[in-house]
């Protein structure tokens, strides 16, 4: 006699798939793409499935059904996918190299840095910082202004320290002569 009553998990046909006709699903898919992607509503932290449903004159169940069937993910994953794609572009763009991760996450629509890192890691398998560093390693011509400035500052400090040492040695020699 088996100690555990284990049964195979059966694939259930989701009820939401029958809510929307294929023709209506095509129309809604196009409208969702237009609003979320083309109008870049994914950048808005407060743009929920509920607001999308209101904009389309439908309800959230229909939105959920279309996103699940056509995009094979839930609404949050769908929106985060586009946020991450834009974040990847910003992370390697020379114009945004001086921005902190919080600023980039804010620009693409994440409410906080933690959700940005979690979503980025889930999709890409590495952190945003690792992504930026690896991309810079592959394209050395994109070195940040910060890195160049830091290198210049380091050189200046070394040069000043060397000059100070030389000056103090001269002063010491001249005082010994007296």
Residue located via tokens 């409208």: 31
What is the band of 12 on the pLDDT scale with cuts at 50, 70, 90?
Answer: low
The number of angstroms, rounded, from the C-alpha of 59 to the middle of its chain's C-alpha atoms is 29
What average pLDDT does the chain have?
82
pLDDT digits (tens, 9 = 90+) for 120-178: 999 999 999 999 999 888 876 655 545 554 444 445 554 555 555 555 555 555 555 55
- Rounded to whole angstroms, how far apart are CA atoms 25 and 30? 9
Domain limits at 110? 80-138
Same domain for 129 and 151? no
Is 134 contained in some domain? yes
> What's the pLDDT at 136?
84
Alpha carbon of 17 to those of 65, 69, 99, 115, 122: distances in Å?
6, 7, 43, 29, 26
> What's the pLDDT at 176?
55
Is 161 contained in some domain? yes
The CATH number of the domain holding residue 130 is 1.10.10.60
The residue-averaged pLDDT of 110-128 equals: 96
The count of structural domains within the chain is: 3
> What's the pLDDT at 21?
87
Is 152 contained in some domain? yes
pLDDT digits (tens, 9 = 90+) for 45-100: 999 999 999 999 999 999 999 999 999 999 999 999 999 999 999 999 999 999 99
Same domain for 134 and 149? no
Residue 23: pLDDT over 70? yes
Is 0.85 topped by the overall pTM? no
pLDDT digits (tens, 9 = 90+) for 38-47: 999 999 999 9
Is 86 contained in some domain? yes
Alpha carbon of 67 to those of 64, 104, 130: distances in Å?
5, 26, 30
Same domain for 19 and 66? yes
Residue located via tokens 């939401």: 16
Same domain for 44 and 93? no
Same domain for 50 and 98? no
């Amino acid at each position: 006699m088996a100690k555990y009553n284990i049964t195979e998990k059966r694939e259930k046909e989701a009820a939401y798939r029958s809510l929307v006709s294929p023709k209506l699903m095509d129309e809604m898919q196009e409208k969702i793409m237009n609003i979320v992607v083309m109008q870049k509503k994914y950048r808005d932290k407060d743009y929920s499935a509920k607001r999308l449903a209101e904009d389309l004159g439908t309800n959230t169940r229909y939105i959920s059904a279309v996103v699940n069937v056509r995009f094979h993910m839930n609404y949050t994953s769908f929106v985060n996918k586009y946020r991450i794609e834009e974040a990847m572009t910003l992370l390697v763009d020379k114009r945004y190299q001086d921005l902190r991760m919080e600023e980039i996450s804010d620009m693409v629509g994440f409410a906080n840095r933690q959700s940005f890192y979690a979503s980025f890691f889930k999709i890409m398998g590495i952190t945003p910082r690792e992504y930026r560093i690896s991309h810079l390693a592959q394209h050395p011509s994109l070195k940040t202004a910060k890195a160049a400035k830091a290198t210049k500052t380091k050189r200046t400090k070394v040069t000043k320290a060397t000059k100070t040492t030389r000056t103090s040695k001269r002063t010491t020699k001249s005082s010994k002569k007296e």
